[in-house]
Amino acid sequence: MLKIIVSLLFVVIIGGFVMSFANDVEENSTSSESVKPKSIYEFPLKDIDGKDVKLKKYKGTVLLIVNTASKCGYTPQYEGLQKIYEKYNAQKFYVLGFPANNFSEQEPGTEKEIKEFCESKYKVTFPMFAKISVKGADQDPLYTFLTGKETNPAFAGDISWNFNKFLVNKKGQIVARFSSKDKPDSEVVTQAIEKYLKEK
């Protein structure tokens, strides 16, 4: 009889341990899922001057997010980016520039050097951010979101080179992606911008 009682107690204790472990796993899983960002507005970043910026300040605007570089064959696209920024900014459109040194070390400078280059060479006035990594093991969370299949199934895929572009609508949804070869002021890009500026 004693053996039966001990056995029952053992089963109850082990069962309680298993249930507790399962609950912990479920809670941790739920917790991990809950912190997965669902919108670009959830990302805290730093601008090129080192000041904290939350992308939620751009809610209700159309955005063109671009990874930039100062020593690339596509660097002259800064001119086109500034051109469309000036053309559409009054309609709540922003270009967001993210310097990155991922491709052939074509953005080796400091934030200060990058800012001086952009302003003096191309008269850039659109928002520029601190240097980040747009691919690889140290990829910035924003670009993990932009390129991930789970978070951006329609336009997922690694950044192929400097000056890849993502278009974001007023609701924070990624609605188009353009290659480095697509000039910012080209018809294909400007037509898409105008389309989403018209949306409420």
Whether 126 and 99 map to the same domain: the answer is yes
Whether 100 and 83 map to the same domain: the answer is yes
Report pTM. 0.83
Whether 125 and 148 map to the same domain: the answer is yes
* Span 134-167, pLDDT tens digits: 999 999 999 999 999 999 999 999 999 999 999 9
Measured at the CA of 51, the angle between CA 131 and CA 129, to 5 degrees, comes to 30
Whether 53 and 117 map to the same domain: the answer is yes
The percent of residues in the chain predicted with pLDDT above 70, rounded, is 82
pLDDT tier, 129 (very low <50, low <70, confident <90, very high otherwise) = very high
Whether 11 and 99 map to the same domain: the answer is no
The enclosing domain of 162 has a CATH number of: 3.40.30.10
Whether 50 and 30 map to the same domain: the answer is no
The mean of the pLDDT values for the chain is 88
CA–CA gap between residue 16 and residue 74 (Å, rounded): 62
- 17 lies in which domain range? 1-35
Active-site positions read 72
Whether 17 and 115 map to the same domain: the answer is no
Query: In this structure, are residues 159 and 67 in contact, taking their beta carbons and an 8 Å threshold?
Result: yes
Our count of domains for the chain comes to 2
pLDDT tier, 37 (very low <50, low <70, confident <90, very high otherwise) = confident
